[in-house]
Amino acid sequence: MFLKNKKYLFDGGSGQTLMEMGLETTGDLWSAKALIDKNLHHMVLKMHKEFINSGSELIVTANFSVRRRLLKRYNLLDSLEAGIRSAGQIALKAKLESNKKVIVAGSLPNQGNTYSPIQFETEETMFQYFHEVAKILNDYVDIFYLDVLSSIKEIKIALEATKEFNKQILVGAHLRFDGKLPSGESLNDLFKITNQYNCCGIISACVSPEIVELSIPILSKQKLPFGYKMNLFKNLPTSNKKSFNTEGFEGEREYEDPVELLGTRNKEYGIDKYTNFVSNSLDKGVTLIGGCCEIKPRHIEALKTLF
């Protein structure tokens, strides 16, 4: 089984790392632009290599933003398959050229609004979407990663859609301020589902440090390797009861830089504090550690001595 019997260091947030490297995006296309434009593929390759060289033992394909709803807004739906395929090809190339033991996880992102359990498609259509992404990525990845999903219904559909490919699944569940999924469902309810499929781990995905701490005691009750991909956003809509909105915010406005909209905690969580946080979590049984938005290669490199 992948991700078993040792601690694993994952990568961080691909979109904002690319933007820090100089990617000039369009609206909220972010990393999708670098995958759709062949002239920008070298940036994605460099991004993956920087994470690998910083110590990442698992990298996630960068197609989180290559989604039907998003591309449709920019009249780029014809680029969907090429963008997803490029994500798989570039991640695999980074792995092979690194000559290191790296696991490539194929991103199967939320098919609606990010951080929201509300779906605008039928179950059949959602199944088709997840299956489509998995089929395109299958030849390039070692496992699939359910990338920031917000309800048990969506997670179960994604698990069903990937069954035929016989790959293990890392489940990345987004959690809100109270440690529950944005749908209001509990992690204990989720465990009943993950036990029925070929899952190799479960993590809280794109969550604040406070929510990571809430989730660890609950995740430790089940048998799969567990951990988190933590973000350092300041005003994530699911992180505070007062601002929580099940409809999410994606699509309400276009924004070049997510930090403009959501703020950052990078000053509050400098490298030393971030490293101490991770170190303390490892003492609590966590074995899967990675970053999400606002976590760059320099953060991952600072963690190498812990692994």
Domains of the chain: 8-306 (3.20.20.330)
pLDDT at residue number 255: 60
pLDDT at residue number 214: 97
Residue in 304, 278, 226, 277 with CA at minimum distance from that of residue 52: 304
Q: What percent of the chain has pLDDT over 70?
A: 96
How far is the C-alpha of 177 from the C-alpha of 197, rounded, in Å?
A: 27
Parallel, antiparallel, or unpaired: how do β-strands 199-207 and 288-291 relate?
unpaired
DSSP-derived secondary structure letter, 171: E
Q: Is the pLDDT of residue 160 over 60?
A: yes
| Pair 248, 151: CB distance under 8 Å | no
Residue 269, Ramachandran bin (φ over 0: left; ψ between -120 and 50: alpha; else beta)? beta
pLDDT at residue number 187: 98
pLDDT digits (tens, 9 = 90+) for 16-49: 999 999 999 888 899 999 999 999 999 999 999 9
pLDDT digits (tens, 9 = 90+) for 248-304: 555 445 566 788 888 999 999 999 999 999 999 999 999 999 999 999 999 999 999
